[in-house]
Structure 1
Amino acid sequence: MKYYAASRLSVFDVKWAKQYYVNESFYTYHYNPYYQLIMVSEGPVYLQVENEKFILEAGETFLLNPWERHMGWRKPEGASAFFWVQFSPDPPFKELDTSTKPISEYEILHAEKNELRTTTTSDADQLLIPRRFKPSQRFKILNHFEDLDKEMKHPVGYFRFRLTQHLCKILEIISTDLLEQNFQTITLPGSYHIYRQLLSFFHDFYQTDLTKEVIEKKMNRSYEHVSQVFKKHSGMNIVHYIHQLRIQRAKHLLVESSLSIQEIAREIGIEDPFYFSKIFKQLEGMPPSKYRENNSRQR
């Protein structure tokens, strides 16, 4: 079984969508330059992809790669139909190697670094998309495919935006269904909830005096414990992250305001302007005055 990973940050562009009733034209090879997701509404559908033959039952989904040859290889005895949607994801899907590593061992959820406000890392949760799948929530997916078909037949206003919404919901339902069927747990660990509470608190009050006592009182836990939790999920210590938040705000004020260095230091919760300059240079590689000068010239 093939599996594909799609970044949570992917941009999806729906090209075409339709419900197709199997007829004589299905028995010649088809190609298209986009990914194509099909879902069988009436089955079976006898699908050949390159040299591999499949019998898809009603409710099954199948993902075709760009330019992958496909056709029908046998005529069904009764009615046979499927919905299809062609789309392009940016970045493209990444095929996962399951020959040496079982799919259940892939780390695909909860990319913690995305929680940090000071980072622009591309680290992101991944949606796991199976090549072939029979989701338990197939009727919900069929409803979205019907909506895709309607939007394509009667394009009005921001119909392309709505097409993308329906596709994303289909992929989310399939991915969640796959997780629930194949992974032992998809819930967040208790420490992650503590981590999220810490981040929310720091984001709101980083400009105040966040002593150990203040943090302990807010979290109702020892500072040592919350420090370990924060380091586990963020990869840095609490003091360093608070410094990052303060300097992030200082950079904005240096460029967008006429406040003095001393006033900016106080604004972000640092009374000593010399200490502020020291921290700023450690994180940005230059003193705040130089940063202001460089960025003022670019405006």
Structure 2
Amino acid sequence: MFHKGDYEIILCVKGPIYIQLDQEQYVINAGEILLIPPFINFFGYKNSTQGVDFYWLHFFSRFKESKINLKESDLIASVKNNPSKDRKILLPNKFTLADYEQSVILIHQILSSRSESSYLQMRDYLTSA
């Protein structure tokens, strides 16, 4: 698949799920998130024999992401030593949720929010949360 400008968040409920982003392969297990950036080729590279269950959300950003290839400790030091006035969100492509249950509740709230334009701000807020 290939997304034309949108991000995708995959929250694995039951796995493993085997997804390849360009040349990098990921195994996503229950409680883990895979963030798929826009304009990247991705596909399943292996069958999941036990069956899978997951949620996925698509969203757009007004800003272009940039990739940072640093070790976690170097990234933390860089952020601490160079405080910026810009608001930034730093996310790895794959990570484990600290509060899985709360995230599932938020996903259900997003899915149950109405599609009327007055609810767009609410869905944006819930997706950000």
- TM-score under structure 2 normalisation? 0.82
* Matched residue type, 1:167: T
Higher relative contact order (CA 8 A, sep 6+): 2
Q: Deviations over 1:47-89 (max 9, x none)?
A: 1222322110011111111121111122222230221122221
Note closer, same or farther for the CA distance 1:44–1:157 as it changes in structure 2 (3 Å cut).
same
Instruction: Identify the structure with the greater strand proportion.
Output: 2
Q: CA 1:96/1:69 → structure 2, altered by over 3 Å: closer, same or farther?
A: same
Q: CA deviation at 1:137?
A: 0.9
- Tell me how far apart the structure 2 counterparts of residues 66 and 109 of structure 1 sit (CA, whole Å): 30
Identity %: 15
User: What's 1:129 paired with?
Assistant: 91
CA distance in 1, matches of 2:47, 2:123: 31
Structure 1 consecutive aligned stretches of length 4 or more whose deviation exceeds 3 Å: 108-112
Gaps in structure 1 of 5+ consecutive residues: 1-29, 113-122, 170-299
Partner of 2:47: 75
Q: Is contact 1:109–1:125 with CA below 8 Å preserved after alignment?
A: no
Aligned mates of 1:142, 1:86 — CA distance in 2: 15
Q: Report which of the two structures shows the higher radius of gyration computed on alpha carbons.
A: 1
Amino acid at match of 1:161: Q
Gaps of 5+ in 2: none
C-alpha contact 1:109 1:126 (8 A) present in aligned 2: no
| 1:213-224 alignment, distance < 5 Å | none
- What does 1:189-268 correspond to in 2, within 5 Å? none
Structure 1 distance, partners of 2:124, 2:64, is: 16
Q: Distance in 2 between matches of 1:82 and 1:40?
A: 4
Q: How much has 1:96 moved relative to structure 2?
A: 2.1
Tell me the secondary structure at the aligned position of residue 89 of structure 2.
strand
Count of residue pairs the alignment pairs up: 127
Q: Is the 8 A contact 1:45 1:56 kept in 2?
A: yes
2:12 is paired with a residue of what secondary structure? strand
What is the alpha-carbon distance in structure 1 between the residues aligned to residue 66 and residue 96 of structure 2? Answer: 21
1:90 equivalent in structure 2:
62
> Greater helix share, 1 or 2?
1
User: Deviation at 1:108?
Assistant: 6.1
**Alignment-derived partner of residue 167 in structure 1:** 127
1:59 to 14, 24, 31: 31
CA-to-aligned-CA distance 1:272-295 (integer Å, 9 cap, x gap): xxxxxxxxxxxxxxxxxxxxxxxx
What is the TM-score normalised by the length of structure 1? 0.38
